[in-house]
Amino acid sequence: AQSVTQLGSHVSVSEGALVLLRCNYSSSVPPYLFWYVQYPNQGLQLLLKYTSAATLVKGINGFEAEFKKSETSFHLTKPSAHMSDAAEYFCAVSGGGSNYKLTFGKGTLLTVNP
For another protein, which stretch binds (CB under 8 A), given 22-30, 31-39, 67-75, 79-87? 31-39
Q: Is 18 helix (H, G, I), strand (E, B) or coil?
A: coil
Kindly tell me which of 40 and 114 has the beta carbon lying closer to another protein: 40
Kindly state whether residue 111 participates in binding another protein, applying the rule CB under 8 A.
no
Among residues 90, 109, 105, which one has the least CA distance to residue 45? 90
Least distance (Å) from another protein to the CB of residue 84? 19
Separation between Cα atoms, residue 68 and residue 32, nearest integer Å:
13
Identify whether the C-beta of residue 65 lies closer than 8 Å to the C-beta of residue 48. yes
Least distance (Å) from another protein to the CB of residue 107? 5
Identify whether the C-beta of residue 77 lies closer than 8 Å to the C-beta of residue 18. yes
User: Which positions lie near another protein, rule CB under 8 A?
Assistant: 9, 32, 34, 36, 41-46, 49, 51, 90, 94, 99-102, 104-107
